[in-house]
Amino acid sequence: MATHRLSPPLTDAVVEALSAGDRATITGAIYTARDAAHRRLVELLDHGLPLPIELAGQIIYYTGPTPAPPGRVIGSAGPTTASRMDPYAPRLLALGLKAMIGKGARSAEVRQALVKHRAVYLTATPGAGALLSRHIIAAEIVAYPDLGPEAIHRLIVQDFPVIVANDCHGGDIYDEGVRRYRRR
């Protein structure tokens, strides 16, 4: 297991160096999007309209941050269940999205799209939204403010901790965990 420092936008070479189980920290701009925002993005694609954000090389964090308490740039920002975005993820990966952050396993279709489009799925610690938010040093809504916490935010993160759950070589920490458990 290696440790990596990631700074978006990500390139194929950076993504190809990541393996399932590796640890990484992210410093730079990432975007948030949950179910409702993903639905809107795909509807725009269906109608041949431009997206409100450029996806090539970017990272989307599946979170709906809570309002910022006094003196903070954002409230709690923990990962949400990634499988809810599975119907939309392959379309966004085809546009050059390089990484997604969430919790839980992904569908076979998403894992295949990660390999095909040279991308990764990262996981952040569930239940640690307040701690993770300490790595967010700036936040602004960039699309769909009517969605409240599910609006698309542009976050500036510093040393945001993640683990590579699915790599672009077909590696999967969830499958590997099951295999290891069965051997015991």
Domains of the chain: total: 1
Judged against a pLDDT cut of 80, whether residue 184 lies above it is answered with: no
Judged against a pLDDT cut of 70, whether residue 183 lies above it is answered with: no
What's the whole-number mean pLDDT along residues 5-20?
98
Q: Which CATH number covers residue 179?
A: 3.20.130.10
Q: Is the link from the previous residue into 79 a cis peptide, with omega within 30 of 0? A: no
Question: What share of the chain in percent tops pLDDT 70?
Answer: 96
Q: What is the pLDDT of the chain when averaged over all its residues?
A: 94
SS3 of residue 61 by DSSP: strand
Judged against a pLDDT cut of 70, whether residue 180 lies above it is answered with: no
Max CA separation in the chain (angstroms): 52
Which pLDDT score is estimated for 181? 59
Specify whether the CB–CB gap between 63 and 38 falls below 8 A. Answer: no
Specify whether the CB–CB gap between 56 and 95 falls below 8 A. Answer: yes
What's the whole-number mean pLDDT along residues 15-34?
98
**Identity of residue 31:** Y
Any residues with CB less than 8 A from the CB of 26 and at least 6 apart, and which? 6, 7, 8, 59, 157, 159, 160, 162
Tokens of 126: 């569930």
Any residues with CB less than 8 A from the CB of 143 and at least 6 apart, and which? 37, 52, 53, 151, 152
Give strand pairing partners of 161.
25
Give strand pairing partners of 140.
154
Phi, psi of 74, rounded to the nearest 5 degrees: -160, 160
- Is the torsion defined by CA of 36, 39, 45, 47 positive or negative? negative
Q: Is the link from the previous residue into 9 a cis peptide, with omega within 30 of 0? A: yes
Tokens of 10: 């990500």
Domain that holds residue 61: 3-183
Phi, psi of 49, rounded to the nearest 5 degrees: -100, 155
What's the whole-number mean pLDDT along residues 69-86?
95
